[in-house]
Amino acid sequence: PPDVEQLGRATWTFLHTTAAYYPEKPTPNQRANMLTLIRSLPVLYPCTHCASDFGEEVKKSPPDVSGRVGLSRWLCERHNEVNEKLGKSKFNCAVEKLDERWKDGPDD
Ligand code: FAD
């Protein structure tokens, strides 16, 4: 079985980074592909209990693929649901905090 922690860190890195660089105004094709990417996780993610819990959360909170700010926040909230389940601290989902972590890096 996969290393669930290492797989998780790698997957969150991919997802948050992709959201941070997603267009402000995505084309219909970009939106459709982002929806497909998100909806693939409950089907394909190789931690099966992670995948099915994530699928339930996505049903409760449909993905916001309208643009990078909405998508980044949506994903942050889903990640916080996992953090809460695992007893980890929650991340501040303000776009400035998300961009600092996943796009721009800290000011210096
Ligand atoms: P991670 O949680 O991997 O976070 C990596 C980095 O992301 C953090 O260091 C922080 O800088 C940043 N970050 C933290 N929270 C947020 C946020 N809300 N928004 C933006 N950035 C943030 N593990 C299980 O044991 N059970 C599960 O059911 C489970 N479900 C998962 C479902 C999915 C879809 C994914 C991708 C992973 C899942 N995992 C699950 C793995 C788990 O979320 C962690 O990745 C793993 O426990 C390693 O945690 P970590 O403390 O290294 O940091």
17 CA to middle of ligand 1, Å?
14
53 CA to middle of ligand 1, Å?
13
pLDDT at 18 over 90: yes
Query: For the structural domain made of 4-103, what CATH number should be given?
Result: 1.20.120.310
pLDDT for 102 equals 97
What ranges in the chain are assigned the alpha helix state H? 4-20, 28-44, 48-60, 68-86, 95-99
pLDDT digits (tens, 9 = 90+) for 42-86: 999 999 999 999 999 999 999 999 999 999 999 999 999 999 999
**Of all protein residues, whose CA lies closest to atom 9 belonging to ligand 1?**
9
Ligand 1 atom nearest residue 9's Cα = 3
Count CB-CB contacts under 10 A for residue 75. 23
Contact 83, 91 (CB under 8 A): yes
Please count the CA atoms within 13 angstroms of the CA of 71 that sit on its side-chain side.
22
Q: Where are the domains of the chain?
A: 4-103
